[in-house]
Structure 1
Amino acid sequence: MGVTGPPGPVMDRDEVDRALARLGAEHKAVEDSLLALQDHAGRRLLEGAELTGTTRERWAVAERTITLLWTCFDVYTDALRGAREVRARRRWPGREELVELTDRLRGESVLVPGGAGEEALLSERFTLEGLVRRMNELYASSLDLVVTADAVWSALPARIDLLAAELGRTRSLAHSVGVRPGEHPAGDELEEITAELGLLRSQVITDPLAFWRPAAGSSAPGGGRPDTERYDRAALALEDVRREIEAVLAVRQDSEDRLLRLRDVLSRADRTL
């Protein structure tokens, strides 16, 4: 690298060593975060899922962002290695090394091919600290999507499956008392709930981000909660139908009990005649 003049006062040896230590710690933190993102269950699910709607659009952007993150990290790694090599030339660096190190550590000496943003650029220059900030921004946006999708997938499908199991038991109970679609309103409602749960589960699996409510004013990745409005409506509707069917069952059982008692009375009357 040619020496073009340092940005500001030339750093002394102690300042250089402190800067290298700090940037080395940043490098380790970024690397750990990227590896954690790579291994995140939500990212693996997104990568293998057949996505639709909002999730498909945002995941396509996130995939490009994650690729860009690794590109920036590789550039940062090379730049930090270069600065360390200059520092390792002498135990007591001379003026020339200190000027070069100041330029490497504080100047816009890091070149990212294609840029590190949404706009297509031939290249973009950063300071090492500026590149760390940019990587943190890219990481936060990618992590937010991954955490959000994972939160929806962790919460809603299991709850829908439990409700579907309860729906199956209710349908069996309805059949046992003669409540069937086309013959009783409760039977028709059970058919509607069955269709809604099937559709809801399919949409949650393919477009989880459509079922997320961001927390107002939150900038933390995954800030918010799954949107359970449709699930809650289906659960309430099923509860209403179940109570109606139980009422039908209670009436039938009461009628059967009355009939049994009547038969018992008639039987005793026959024996006394």
Structure 2
Amino acid sequence: MGGRDRADPAQRECGRRRADATSAAYARRDPTPVSTPATREGASMSTIVLVHGAFADASGWNDVITRLQQDGHTVYAPANPLRGLESDAAYLRSFLETLGGPVVLVGHSYGGAVITNAATGLDHIAALVYIAAFALDEGEAVGQATGLGGEAPDLLAVTVIRPFPGAAERDGDAYLNPEVFPQVFCQDVAPELAAAMAAAQRPAALASLVQPSGPPAWRSIPSWYLVASSDRVIPPAAERAMAARAGATTVEIESSHVAMISHPDEVASLIRDAVTASEEAQVA
């Protein structure tokens, strides 16, 4: 018989009770941040939060995550919305506020711009770690920072722009052209993996490239920086300039833009250095 199926009264009542129970549980949720275990020396063990950038997702951190988890760390790699710097930073900040301290906050590429803004004013962020990332200064946009070391690559020439619902005028989703993705983004990654990364990339709204940064967290939080000397997305000279400006403890390795994928040992090692320094500072 035609027409829309209708749930019987008992089913509707069961559904209503489940919804009421969910609402009640949310209303009485404990706002206390998740605590972190103590180390043998008396300092709290750091929680590590990894933030991905544009044209990528959190799975790019997988090999780094397994190494850090083997050390006993609690590790999170939340999704970065990639909708615009202000809203992305607000989203990450809301996540960070649910965690106890200390937190070592790590950003790759555009994720560096996000952590730079999200961590400002949060007392439980113990360290910032930039992996071939944007450590922006106040008023600076991602598109400007690529030119800090001189000539900047024209990434817009190798992007595909697609509309999305609700986009502001002249905004759109930027994807790296899959045909050049391996050569531009990850030239030291196996071709099969590079092709899969190109297919699965998450786009960034163009707004994320032009919105200016707020006051940078690196002015008050100790920072570490990994420069990728073969980066074709952010010029290595720009990375060095941002690292120096932030007063970051800096290492440099021969890597493409995706050092966390092609060199997970080196990336994990730098994060461990930041963790060790922050935990030693607690008991000093």
TM-score by length of 1: 0.19
Determine which structure has more spread, i.e. the larger CA radius of gyration.
Answer: 1
Q: Which has the higher strand share?
A: 2
TM-score by length of 2: 0.19
